Amino acid sequence: MHNSIQAWAHANEALARHTTMRVGGAAQWWAEPQTEAELAAILQAVQHGGYPLQVLGAGSNLVPSDSGFAGVVLKLGDGFAWHRVEENRLITGGATLLPKLTKFALQHQLGNFEWACGVPGSAGGSIWGNAGARGFNGQAMESRDAATDLESLIAYDRAGKRHRLLRHDVEFSYRRSSLGELIVVEATFALKPLNEEQAQEHRAAVKDLLKKRRETQPTNAASAGCVWKNPQYGDCRGAGELIESLGLKGHRVGGAVVSPIHANFVVNEGHATGADVRNLIKEVEEIVERETGVHLEREVRLLGES
């Protein structure tokens, strides 16, 4: 077993290439394992070398700094982007993108995964952060998240040890899980069997969800998705509504701007730096707290020093 990270990773990979916000300097080391054996070996090499480690999902909720990351950035490779159906169960590798899973489930007449149709995340990352959105239950739209239909998962700890966990072994709350430093490599969701007529209804609901998403969110812009969690106390308006009420749509720092379409999105207009994005996020938080008393909690993570 190679204990040196050089055997498993390459140096100076630009993080802007791997994040949906399209900002960030270079990772000191970039590792992209294709198998569980490779992942375990990399994690052991990281531990052996004492490197800081950052795990990347689809790069959709991370804003790296312009100075990059001094350590190892690990992203599950395409070897983890598989999926299959067994009866009413959808089983997937951690790197599979969520919209692909929605489509695949409906092809196999399985419902309840519609919420994920427009979420730009990976299966593993969505479980780790308990991603969620509006979905369809056959009668009406409803809020669902990654935890709702999760049955079990396989994850690795930072020492490279494999763990199989059942849904009740993990604590989930709004946009949060107790997985901590575990890396999800496989998940099983127990979904709702549909007949062909129901599957058609669910496919139509997905079209409506995607249309509404395109109309109400900057889906074609470089962004990190929703920046802030919706407040769970006090002024319980959504974060976007709260920010919009203060006239902050279009507020900018350099090349970063609060989306004129949806105020919970910060958009890179093409020339933003990591510092622009961070400073805009912090400015919005300060204004909201000063004007409303609400402390906005971030859904995105800021990586490295500003």
Mean pLDDT computed over 229-241? 79
Based on the domain organization, do 45 and 102 belong to the same domain?
A: no
- Quick check: 83 and 100 in contact, CB under 8 A? yes
Domain edge (last residue) among 216, 249, 266: 216
Residue 236: pLDDT over 70: no
CA angle 77, 303, 42 (to 5 degrees): 35
Domain boundary among 46, 78, 110: 78
Confidence of residue 306 (pLDDT cuts 50, 70, 90): very low
Q: Which residue has the higher pLDDT, 136 or 108?
A: 108
| Same domain membership, residue 118 and residue 188 | yes
Q: What is the pLDDT of residues 19-31, one digit of tens each?
A: 999 999 999 999 9
Structural domain boundaries enclosing 33? 5-78
| Residue 114: CATH number of its domain | 3.30.465.10
Q: Global pTM?
A: 0.92
Q: Both 190 and 119 in a single domain?
A: yes
Query: What pLDDT, in 10s, does the model give residues 180-209?
Result: 999 999 999 999 999 999 999 999 999 999
Number of domains in the chain: 3
| Domain identity same for 191 and 263 | no
Say if residue 121 is in the same domain as residue 195.
Answer: yes
Q: What local confidence, expressed as pLDDT, does residue 134 receive? A: 85
Are residues 23 and 38 located together in one domain of the fold? yes
Q: Is the pLDDT of residue 3 over 80?
A: no
pLDDT, average across residues 205-221: 93
The owner of tokens 């938080």 is: 285
Tell me what percent of the residues of the chain surpass a pLDDT of 90: 89
CATH, residue 245: 3.90.78.10
Q: 150-172: per-residue pLDDT in tens?
A: 999 999 999 999 999 999 999 99
Least confident of 36-45, 96-105, 211-220, 249-258: 211-220
